[in-house]
Amino acid sequence: MKKLTSLLLSLVLMVSVLACGASAKTSTKVRIAGLKGPTTMGLVNLLSMEKDGTASLDYDLQLYGAADEIVPKLIKGELDMAAIPANLAATLYQKTNGGIQVMAVNTLGVLYVVEKGNTVHSFADLKGRTILSTGKGTTPEYVLRYLLKKNGLDPDKDVKIEYYSEASEVTAQMAAARKDAIAVLPQPYVTAAQMKDSGLRVVLDLTKEWNRVCDTQLITGVTVVRTEYAKQNPDVIAAFLTDYQKSVKAANEDIDGTAALCEEVGVVAKAAIAKKALPKCNIVYRNGQEMKKDISAYLQVLYDASPAAVGGKLPDDNFYYTEPSVLRKVMAAIRNSAK
């Protein structure tokens, strides 16, 4: 009953917005954070839309090097939304007693094993080796551990994994490393590292390796919102998701423009890196029931492998913010009936 009441209230608010001119930009400022990497590449065109007057809202996009910089700000209410690793979203949901909800999937698989040499050709070749990686406690750690196990290796005994807080630290270590150094890196850092060192070789595409042993989507990043903010601002959420969908579309179609924005915002050091990496970054926009289906299946795999990866238990249905897709359909129906 509460959900129905909330939905009806949201519909009333949305109809009010439509009556006043839904295409008009509001003065509402949305504080959204992203990481330096692929999960933010789909957001940067919001700034371009804001400049040319096509955005529905004002956007304060804040960039951070590591997820643990975003988490406390989100919990304290200093941010409204954030693009973060999928498993971290589930963990935060448990830790905050439902204080955040996931609105959309923003990035699929972007992880690769790279080597400065020519000794690794399969997972078996990783036995006894040291692997440099970013993302301890988030997607890179759990995907790597899952795939090592699936390929007959014990991640605690057969390999040594050294974690760094940011992907840029891993690329720096690889640049300075001797021959045969190995790392797990996401795009666009793989591209950036290869542009600096032609001897760096991609040896394993972890998305392909995931698909080989698992029938679920590998999900790197999601976009979340504070639950309280979503309850108080359903019209803002719907407007944001409409803008966000356009921003992701632009990221996949206007490569040059998006690459320039990535450099301007600080997602990557140079537009040339983003331009080359964008087609490999698996940037998507999935919300509603499709989002719920993909994320729940992915989290189930992580949970079965290690419950701690998702905060000890699987999130319930309230984790998924699915109302906006319904609201937009209603708005479209109202517009069509008014023609």
State how far the Cα of 200 lies from the Cα of 10, in Å rounded to an integer.
52
How does pLDDT run along the chain (339 residues), one tens digit per residue?
445 445 444 554 454 444 444 445 556 899 999 999 899 999 999 999 999 999 999 999 999 988 999 999 999 999 999 999 999 999 999 999 999 999 999 999 999 999 998 999 999 999 999 999 988 888 889 999 999 999 999 999 999 999 998 888 988 888 887 778 899 999 999 999 999 888 899 999 999 999 999 999 999 999 999 999 999 999 999 999 999 999 999 999 999 999 999 999 999 989 999 999 999 999 999 999 999 999 999 999 999 988 999 999 999 999 999 874 555 555 444 434 443
CA distance to 125, 148, 165, 205, 240, per residue, from 110 (Å): 21, 17, 17, 8, 25
Distance CA 194, CA 175 (A): 10
Answer yes or no: are the C-beta atoms of 327 and 10 closer than 8 Å: yes
Q: At what angle do helices 234-253 and 323-338 cross, to 10 degrees?
A: 90
Report which secondary-structure segment, H or E, holds 286: strand 283-286
pLDDT of residue 21: 42
Residues 6+ apart with CB under 8 A from 214: 150, 301
The label of the residue with tokens 């009010």 reads 16
Residue 84 vs residues 2, 105, 255: alpha-carbon distances, Å: 29, 10, 23
Residue 271: C-alpha distances to residues 76, 125, 150, 264 (Å): 34, 35, 37, 8
Residue whose pair of structure tokens reads 């996009």 in the numeric block: 61
pLDDT in the model for residue 264:
94
In a 13 Å sphere around the CA of 244, the CA atoms on its Cβ side amount to: 30
Name all domains of the chain by residue range, CATH numbers in brackets.
Answer: 2-107+219-338 (3.40.190.10), 111-213 (3.40.190.10)
DSSP 98: S
Of 125, 109, 108, residue with least CA distance to 201: 125
Nearest to 175 by CA among 185, 161, 165, 160: 185
Q: How far, CA to CA in Å, does 238 sit from each of 37, 54, 72, 274?
A: 25, 15, 25, 29
**304 to each of 238, 297, 299, 312, how far by Cα in Å?**
34, 11, 8, 11
Angle at 168 between CA 163 and CA 172, to 5 degrees: 85
pLDDT of residue 77: 96
Query: What's the sign of the alpha-carbon dihedral 136, 137, 142, 148?
Result: positive
Gap between the Cα atoms of 296 and 331, Å rounded: 28
Q: Is the peptide bond before 72 cis (omega within 30 degrees of 0)?
A: no
The alpha helices in the chain, defined as continuous H runs, are 2-19, 38-41, 45-52, 67-76, 86-95, 139-150, 167-176, 189-196, 206-213, 227-232, 234-253, 255-265, 271-277, 288-305, 323-338
